[in-house]
């Protein structure tokens, strides 16, 4: 049988890289997208049991996303799964942050998802396949000091929920998955108020869920065609549930947690 094809954005590190390794282990052919082509090439050398197409892609650029999908179809003739994983974060109080930082968050996180989904949709529909959006608990509740991040993740959820309904009778599977805190580079590359990268994570990465564990959970959710999934428990399912029941309490808890981070932007 012809191997299935998965397109993964943000595949050079973290959850995206772990997803690539998981899907390769399951026998999928891969199209891997990221800005750091050299990392994708290194990953390709390790995944030698399947065909891997690395594509240098800046998802904030519509022409890059269109080219990504065209190259995937040219190489493999189809797309079974699109995983919109590419994303960046931020860490700054709204009063201090430059508006260009918020725009960059939307360009990468939201518009990157929109562009890739737009151009992949006809091919995924042909396979009755899956479109996946990776958000976070910040796509369900507001995270202080991360207005652009939460705003973009809420937007992705609304966008993909609507796509799901539009193609309800076409056999399209749409999953919106929300990992909690997961060990990755996203906090190191988070933008601060002037748009420069934070550089160091303010949180203990060793206590977080591993990217490999998160990828394994996501793989099962996609295989079982789940609609929505909040991956982690305490910083995911529990906090979102409590926010529905006692929103004021979660506001207080989140403020206290993020205010106590080293060098917190919260006053």
User: Which residues carry out catalysis?
Assistant: 149
- Count the alpha carbons within 13 Å of 85 in the hemisphere toward its beta carbon: 30
Distance between CA atoms of 85 and 96, rounded to whole angstroms?
28
Distance between CA atoms of 147 and 3, rounded to whole angstroms?
41
Strand runs labelled E in 40-87: 52-56, 81-84
Give backbone dihedrals phi and psi of 138, rounded to 5 degrees, phi first.
-70, -5
Distance between CA atoms of 50 and 152, rounded to whole angstroms?
34
Distance between CA atoms of 28 and 46, rounded to whole angstroms?
14
């Amino acid at each position: 049988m012809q191997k299935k094809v998965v397109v993964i954005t943000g595949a050079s590190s973290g959850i995206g890289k772990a997803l690539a390794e998981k899907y390769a282990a399951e026998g999928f052919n891969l199209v891997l997208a990221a800005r750091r082509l050299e990392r994708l090439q290194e990953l390709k050398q390790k995944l030698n049991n399947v065909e891997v197409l690395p594509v240098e892609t800046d998802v904030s650029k519509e022409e890059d996303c269109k080219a990504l999908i065209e190259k995937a179809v040219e190489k493999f003739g189809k797309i079974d799964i699109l995983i919109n994983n590419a994303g960046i974060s931020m860490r700054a109080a709204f009063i201090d942050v430059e508006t260009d930082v918020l725009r960059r968050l939307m360009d990468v996180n939201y518009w990157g998802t929109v562009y890739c989904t737009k151009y992949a949709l006809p091919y995924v529909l042909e396979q009755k396949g899956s479109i996946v959006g990776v958000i976070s608990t910040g796509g369900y509740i507001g995270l202080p000091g991360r207005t652009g991040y939460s705003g973009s993740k809420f937007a992705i959820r609304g966008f993909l929920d609507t796509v799901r309904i539009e193609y309800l009778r076409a056999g399209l599977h749409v999953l919106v998955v929300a990992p909690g805190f997961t060990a990755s580079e996203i906090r190191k590359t988070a933008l601060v108020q002037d748009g420069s990268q934070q550089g160091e994570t303010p949180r203990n990465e060793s206590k977080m869920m591993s990217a490999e564990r998160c990828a394994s959970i996501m793989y099962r959710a996609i295989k079982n065609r789940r609609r929505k999934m909040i991956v982690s428990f305490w910083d995911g399912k529990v906090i979102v549930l409590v926010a529905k029941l006692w929103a004021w309490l979660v506001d207080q808890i989140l403020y206290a947690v993020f205010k106590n981070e080293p060098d917190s932007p919260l006053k």
